[in-house]
Every structure is written in structure tokens, then in C-alpha cells.
Amino acid sequence: MIIESKRIGCLDGLRGLAALWVILGHSLQLTGWHLPILSSPDLGVDLFIMLSGFLMVFHYRLRETANPWEKPATWFGFWLKRFFRIAPLYYVMLCMALLLGPQLYQARMVIDTFLAHGPQLPERYLDDSLGNLLMHVSFLFGLHPAYAFRTALPDWSLGLEMQFYAVFPIAMLLLRKTRWLPGAALIALVGFVIAKAIQAAHIDFPMPSFLPLKMHVFLCGMLIANGLFVTPRQTVMNGLLAVILVMIPIGGDMTTTKIGVRLLLVVGFFALVHCHLLPGLIGRLGDRVSSLMGNRFCHWLGELSFGVYLIHLLLLQPIAALVIRHFGAGISAPERFAMVVAALLPTAYVLAYLGFTRIEGPGQKLGRKVLEKIRGRRLEPA
């Protein structure tokens, strides 16, 4: 199948749901209430990772004729656009996290003491050194276990994302040369071997911020996207390989429940994107759900997902600490959770909207202007 539309409706809704999952999961953890699956925000991050892999391949396949990836200029343009997509808002939030580090640390100490959690490492909140700043500004922090989880932001996944962007053009050329199924299996195998090698060397990442630990999850989204541009039989084979890859036991907590949820995420994502392949009522229902997840409300949930993801911990920890100080054990965990979320969600989304309109949008426009200027200079006669 050759895709006719440049928009996949369910992507907006899935991005928005992934961000909500992370926010609610962290809120549950910091208020002492447990709900199965929802209390695991790492699963929401895995959904984000699949979506990232999907989007990169989807746009690559749409533009491969106009922007051939054999040309280094295409690689440079891709990297520059991705940098300006992530960096402007991230740099602002990074400065806020470093400046507010002592206050956030005190709030987290209140939470952890009340919930009888192990104390946080002080350096995660209090390291405002030049070295830590440079590691994060350069996005190299995900490669180093000591820096991978060293700010109050949930930014370990951004370092991971930047590593994926760095290798994506090479991976796409390999997949074109070897064919998709054996190529994807080979890339996943290399990632698995590297992950086991660093484990054997007793190199411990506090979060799975090193690309080989999560490359198989990116590949799941990449395979689902590639299914839009091949025959129905090949689409199904791509989906089956994605189901196999998501069960590789690396990259975080691999309990039976979490493996099952990751498997359902792949199957559900595949069904929403390829609902045209599903028979009868199931296919029509999948198409309807996919369309609903692309409505205007879900569109804005998706657009604000990056900002909400970045901002929420800077708000959540002071809010949760305030509720705990004021009410203590006088209210139940569900009540505590409800109060925190009622304050957190509107504040986080308003700030994310301001970040999207005042920082993210202008940052992306600046990136396009920089790229156009560089390309214009290259076309000027000597």
C-alpha cells in the first residue's frame, strides 16, 4: 500500500495519551496511591518512543524522492530540524530546573519522608556545575551513567531521542540495503548484544538513556510506519516482527505485566494505523477510533505533549509536597492524588501552551530559516 494522506489521525491522540500517562503515573507515585499499569509512567515513555520511531520513518518515506538520504545535505537538514524541535524549550526548562534545584530537592525530601521512600541522590537536584550544564546542553548526558539522571527534569528520554536521531539516517540506509525485516532484526540484535555487554561490564544506567537499551522499541514504531508503504502481506510481517522485538528483555523493568502491556501497545498501535486491514466491524471500529483520536481536542493534546512532559515534574513535586505538609495523613492517598492532579493538570497545560506558542513554534521557525540560509549559501555561485 502507498499512503495517500500525509496525516495519520491517531498519532495526535496517542501522543496526548502518552503524556497524560506519564503525568498521572508520576502523580500516583508521589502521592502514595497505586493503580496497576497507570502507576508505571515508563510504559508511557515507551509509547512515546514507538511514536518517535513511527514519525521519523513516515516522514522519511514521504520525502525520500525529494530529499534523497544518500546526500549528506539531507542528513544535515534532518539533524538541524530535530535540534530546533527539541532544544529551545528544553534549554529554558533546563535553566529553570538548575535554578530551582534546591527548592525542588526540599520538596522531594518532604514527599519521600512521608511515603517512606528511599532518599533521592542530592546531585540530581543540586548539581549546577558547568560540567553538568555542558553535558545536558550538548545532549551527551544520556551516554554517561553519572549524568543520565542528573536534573529534576524527566530529560533522560531526550538524550535517548537525540541518540536515535544521530543514527537514524545510517539505520535507514542499512534497512534499504538489507531489506526491512532482516535489517531490523540485525539492528535489534546489535542493540541487545551491546546492552548485555555493558551489563556484563557492570555499567549501570539509572534510566535506560543509552540507545541500545531502547533501540528495539524505536524499531517497533519504525516497522509499523513502514507497513504503510508496502503490500498487505509485508505490512503484517512488519507487525509480527514488531511484536517479537518489543518483548526483548532489556531497557527497564521487564516484569510479565509490563511485557504484556508493551505487547498490547504494539498491537493497538498497529491496529489503529492499519485498521484498513482488519475485517468487518473490527476494521470499522478501528477506523472510527483513529479518526476520533485525530480531532481538534486530541490535536492540541498532541501538540502540547512535549511541553507538558518537560514541565510537569517541576510543578508536581512542589504541589505534592504542599498537599502533604498541609494535610499529612489526614486524607487518603486517592484524595491526595485527586487534589494534586486537580492543581497540576490545568497549570501544566497552560504553561505548555505558552511554551508551545512562545518558544517551540518560534524555535522551529528559526530552525527552518537557518536551514534555508545555509542552503542558499551553498547554491550561490562561487
The residue among 380 and 200 whose pLDDT is bigger is 200
Whether 8 is covered by a domain: the verdict is: no
Whether 27 is covered by a domain: the verdict is: yes
Whether 377 is covered by a domain: the verdict is: no
**Is 156 a residue whose pLDDT tops 60?**
yes
Whether 1 is covered by a domain: the verdict is: no
Share above pLDDT 90 across residues of the chain, in percent, rounded to a whole number: 81
Mean pLDDT of 51-66: 90
Q: How many domains does the chain have?
A: 1
Whether 132 is covered by a domain: the verdict is: yes
pLDDT tens across 214-250, in order?
A: 999 999 999 999 999 999 999 999 999 999 999 999 9
* Res. 199 pLDDT band, cuts 50 70 90: very high
pLDDT tens across 268-320, in order?
A: 999 999 988 888 888 888 888 888 898 999 999 999 999 999 999 999 999 99
pLDDT of residue 130: 95
Whether 3 is covered by a domain: the verdict is: no
pLDDT of residue 2: 46
Mean pLDDT of the chain: 93
* Res. 382 pLDDT band, cuts 50 70 90: very low
> SS3 string of the chain?
CCCCCCCCCHHHHHHHHHHHHHHHHHHHHHHCCCCCCCCCHHHHHHHHHHHHHHHHHHHHHHHCCCCCCCCHHHHHHHHHHHHHHHHHHHHHHHHHHHHCHHHHHHHHHHHHHHHCCCCCCCHHHHCCCHHHHHHHHCCCHHHCCCCCCCCCCCCHHHHHHHHHHHHHHHHHHHHHHHCHHHHHHHHHHHHHHHHHHHHHCCCCCCCCCCHHHCHHHHHHHHHHHHHHHCCHHHHHHHHHHHHHHCCCCCCCCCCHHHHHHHHHHHHHHHHHHCHHHCCHHHHHHHHHHHHHCCCHHHHHHHHCHHHHHHHHHHHHHHHHHHHHHHHHHHCCHHHHHHHHHHHHHHHHHHHHHHHHHHHHHHHHHHHHHHHHHHHHHHHCCC
Whether 143 is covered by a domain: the verdict is: yes
Whether 380 is covered by a domain: the verdict is: no
Residue span of the structural domain in which 110 resides = 16-367
